[in-house]
Amino acid sequence: MADCTEIRLKRAERRLDVAYDDGLSFSLPAEYLRVESPSAEVQGHGPGQKTTVGGRRQVGIMRVEPVGQYAVRLIFDDLHDSGIFSFAYLRTLGLEHATRWAAYEADLAAKGLSRDPPPR
């Protein structure tokens, strides 16, 4: 597995840039990271328990905190902070972005949810 060499938060663009020593790099949208959070709140505690998180189109990342030498904790501006994103998981999210995003949008539609937050 390639080592992560750089993680850069682009707050204004709502993106997290991740680079690896094998030359791969990804610019991951905050919304995508939020809805694919590895937390139990999103993923559940077993197969088939994943929650579809809608209404996060405008979510941003406030902070990135290192977790040892293998991961980061992302603190989102909707106050979600319980997911620990390993560098391997971030790589998977980068490699599978198109497929996962299409599945997410299909799941939103099937459940009658929107990427937009509900009106206040």
Could you tell me the CATH number of the domain that includes residue 55? 3.30.2020.30
Question: Does the residue 66 lie in any domain?
Answer: yes
Our count of domains for the chain comes to 1
- pLDDT surpassing 80 at residue 57: yes
Whether the model clears a pTM of 0.75, i.e. scores above it, the answer is yes
Domain encompassing residue 101: 4-110
Query: Is residue 98 classed as helix, strand or coil in its secondary structure?
Result: helix
Question: Does the residue 115 lie in any domain?
Answer: no
Cβ-count burial 65-104 (b if 16+ within 10 Å, e if not): eeeeeebbebbbebebeebbbebebbbebbeebeeebeeb
Q: DSSP of 13-53, one letter per residue?
A: TTEEEEEETTS-EEEEEHHHHHHT--SHHHH-SSTT-PPP-
- The confidence score (pLDDT) of residue 9 equals 98
Question: Does the residue 120 lie in any domain?
Answer: no
Question: Does the residue 77 lie in any domain?
Answer: yes
Question: Does the residue 98 lie in any domain?
Answer: yes
Question: Does the residue 116 lie in any domain?
Answer: no
Give 73-84 pLDDT, tens digit per residue.
Answer: 999 999 999 989
Question: Does the residue 118 lie in any domain?
Answer: no
How many H-runs (helices) and E-runs (strands) does the chain carry?
Answer: 4, 6
Angle at 111 between CA 118 and CA 113, to 5 degrees: 20
- The confidence score (pLDDT) of residue 12 equals 96
